[in-house]
Amino acid sequence: MTLHPEIATFIASLPAPPEGPLDPVALRAADEAHVAPLAERLPLHAVDDVTAKTAAGEVPVRIYTPVEADSYGVLVYFHGGAFFLGSLETHDHVARSLAEETGLKVVSVGYRLAPEASFPAGLDDCHAVVRWVAEEGTGLAWDGTTLAVAGDSSGGTFAAAVAARAHDDGFDRITHQILYYPSLDLDFDVDRYPSLRENAVGYGLETAGLKPFNAFYLDSGADPADPLVSPIKRTDLTGLPPALVVTAEHDPMRDEGELYGERLREAGVEATVSRYEGAGHGFVQHFSWIPEYHAVFTQTRDFLGRS
């Protein structure tokens, strides 16, 4: 299937990328400039900014309560942005849609970013907030059942890594992992996966841009051979939580996500792999207003309700 026409029109309108080294501060400012005004955001019962006091230090989180109730399942969400972009604001609409569709309380994590924070600061923040949710469950009205982790792109990397790290630590409260077009192999050898060649140019995120965009993270001490950096390099996937792996047809990183889902199933882990046709990388953040892509939130709800 060709790229969805509305996505193709948007990509064609984008200016050429700036020449020279990437400037994280300027790129963040441009990212934040597209945030919708508060009055235009999806209304929920409550949205609260809180500081989580965790083992990793104080971490800003935004808590989304979909409706008034006595208790809730909880979904902890990690935003994408190549480990140096993204914020509670840039992904606020994603968290709101997750809360509305799933009925879970969503805790979005404002983790520390590269290059200012070296590896594993961001991962530590994400892991610590999940533990904080379990420890502070009464204050969050957590019902003690569903505790899911979810993330898009590099946030999907963190979700997979947090699930694995928690398993290794003997923390068994994570019930689901939801990975939207995750970056699972930060070794960007173009011969490793066909999608790196098939989707190299013309679909928004380009294969040639993967190394420079991830350089801030890798140069901060993240080793691509480390399974906490590249979760697909973990040799033993047994015992991990059930997974929903969402991929995009025209994403250079499509194949690593689908291979990870296959390897989870081979390890006896319940894993659903779902490819969205006509979509490119980032569609949950940028194009979920298109009805066929907004369905990803319904699929997430259904996945969470199965087990």
Contact between residue 81 and residue 27 where contact means Cβ atoms under 8 Å apart: no
Task: Give me the amino acid identity at 98.
Answer: L
Catalytic residues: 153, 251, 281
Taking alpha carbons only, the member of 140, 134, 131, 152 closest to residue 106 is 140
Residues 6+ apart with CB under 8 A from 89: 32, 35
| Distance from C-alpha of 290 to C-alpha of 167, rounded to nearest angstrom | 36
Polymer length of the chain: 307
| Distance from C-alpha of 123 to C-alpha of 291, rounded to nearest angstrom | 32
Contact between residue 31 and residue 113 where contact means Cβ atoms under 8 Å apart: no
